[in-house]
Amino acid sequence: MRRKTGLYSEIIFTMAVVVGAALLLGGFLLLKLTETELLGQRVEYTRQMAMFVARAASTPNAAPKAPPNFTMIKAMLEDIGPEVASWDIYDRYGNRMTPRKKPSPVLTSPDKALVQEVTYYSQTVHRVDYKREWIPVVSPASGLVTVATPLRSSTAGNGVLLVRFSLSEIGQQINAARNMMLLYVVLYGAVLTGFGVVLLGRAVIKPVRQLREATSRVTDGDLSTNVAAHGPGEIADLANSFNAMTDALQKGREDLIRSERMASVGHLSAGMAHEIGNPLGAVLGYLELLKSELEPGRSKEIVEKSLIEINRIDHLVKELLDYAAPTGEQQEIVDPADVLRESVDIASHQKAFAEIEFSVDSPARIGLVRIDPHKLMQVMINLMVNAKDCLEDSNTIYLAATRQGQFAEIVVRDEGCGIPDDVLPHIFDPFFTSKPQGKGRGLGLAICQRIITEAGGKIVARSPKDMGTTFTILLPIERDG
């Protein structure tokens, strides 16, 4: 199996290719333009030099068949330097007029065409033979520019000066420039690639590695893992999506654990109803009978205390049965506003709420929801009892019922001591309580949550520091009232 390359390697290779290709393309285009400009300047220079020599050596007042001043022409061309490759003088028929010790080479067709053009039009013409080489490791590009110009300004009868200039110097300059350009591409490309790798490493590689490490921790079971959402927009969105995923997984796991715990409690409660309920009823009956037969005294006092404790056990069993009992079969269509007002009316006449004031904010109608009204009243009274137990300086419980879109919202709020942050996530767990021993069994809120959940609703608690506790119930509205 082929080994996969790392993200760093992929980025370095990709950046090197992209930066190198861009710099090479720009460099070669610039060299092409430079070469064309140098070649044009060189051609213009050679034309001017050839015309200057021809004018200097022309003899306008000489006889029509007088020969050109070969000595002067030779001296002037030699003064130009080694860039003059060769030169010759031809008559209008293409015959060589330059005196040579060695036989002159045959006039080529292109040169002959230049001579004929000068003879016919009596103007300077040129031809460029230049081979361009782009690969810098080969020999420099070379070539010639051939300039043909008349020797007399008044007539072409005295001959045509044909001068060949070397273009090897241009090839050498371009070749040196290409080598310098390649060195520039390597050095500048390395610097750009290095900076790009550093910046991308900070903006992309580091967040990706953090995501990979966080994924490994999640795989090991740590669903509380979160990553910082920084970097480019896409990376930050990916981190936010990862955090949302872990939060959803953690919530799902907590819900699953809670459901399993509730199911276990339900099975336990059903078993306790059969195993404890009947013997407990018999014990209560015997104690009541014994109490009625005893005279006032120590024995009767012990029986009365035993009855109190047995009644506590009986109450616990009933709460467990309420928790385990299904509620869906008895659901009705009711308006939560009516149930709220009835619950407040019942609570206000109980001795436990004698010193409590109720602040109710509710319209006459909200909408109809499907739930057992007795169970919903049980939830509201349970929340009011909890609110009363938390009150310290205030004696007011605030209740409200409103419509939020397609949901009926019921709010129960107090200004008491609040719920600590470490306790708040567990308040709906069965048998979890923060009250003193004997004050609660940790089933009230668990039963409330089960009732609301089975009705398709939701119950949540918020407890900002030093601002009391707020319970919010949301129930889906089936139709308008």
**Count of domains in the chain?**
2
Q: Measure the N-to-C terminal CA separation of the chain; round to a whole number of Å.
A: 68
Is 85 strand, coil or helix? Answer: strand
pLDDT score of 394: 79
User: For residues 353-370, b (16+ Cβ closer than 10 Å) or e, as one string?
Assistant: beebeeeeebeeebbbbb
Instruction: Say how many C-beta atoms besides its own lie within 10 A of residue 49's C-beta.
Output: 19
H-type alpha helices, 276-372:
277-293, 298-324, 336-348
pLDDT digits (tens, 9 = 90+) for 398-410: 999 999 889 999 9
Give dist(CA 132, CA 171) in Å, integer: 8
Query: For tokens 């409690």, what's the residue?
Result: 265
Q: Are strands 357-361 and 396-404 parallel, antiparallel or unpaired?
A: parallel
- Domain boundary pick from 164, 179, 194: 179
Lowest-pLDDT range, 110-119, 268-277, 458-467?
A: 268-277
Is 411 strand, coil or helix? Answer: strand
Residue 427 pLDDT more than 90? no
Position 78, amino acid: E
- What percentage of the chain exceeds 70 in pLDDT? 80
Residue 137 pLDDT more than 50? no
Give dist(CA 327, CA 319) in Å, integer: 14
Mean pLDDT, residues 92-108 taken together? 67
Mean pLDDT, residues 150-158 taken together? 58
Report the CATH number that the domain containing residue 446 is assigned in CATH. Answer: 3.30.565.10
Residue 8 banded pLDDT, cuts 50, 70, 90: low
pLDDT digits (tens, 9 = 90+) for 264-295: 666 666 666 556 766 777 777 777 777 777 77
Mean pLDDT, residues 330-343 taken together? 86
pLDDT score of 1: 45
Give dist(CA 145, CA 379) in Å, integer: 105
- Domain boundary pick from 138, 162, 179: 179
Residue 217 lies in a domain: no
pLDDT digits (tens, 9 = 90+) for 45-84: 989 998 888 888 776 555 555 667 788 888 888 888 888 8
CA 371 to chain centre: 45
CA 353 to chain centre: 56
Average pLDDT, the chain: 78
pLDDT score of 471: 92
Residue 472 banded pLDDT, cuts 50, 70, 90: very high
For residues 104 and 254, the model is more confident at: 254
Annotate 165-193 with DSSP letters as a single string: EE-HHHHHHHHHHHHHHHHHHHHHHHHHH
Residue 243 pLDDT more than 90? no
Sheet holding 160-166, edge to edge: 84-90, 160-166, 143-150, 125-130
Residue 357 pLDDT more than 80? yes
pLDDT score of 248: 80
pLDDT score of 66: 61
H-type alpha helices, 58-108:
70-80
- Domain boundary pick from 119, 152, 179: 179
Give dist(CA 362, CA 421) in Å, integer: 30
Query: For tokens 């220079």, what's the residue?
Result: 45
Residue 107 lies in domain = 7-179
Residue 191 lies in a domain: no
Report the CATH number that the domain containing residue 52 is assigned in CATH. Answer: 3.30.450
pLDDT digits (tens, 9 = 90+) for 377-395: 888 888 888 888 888 777 8
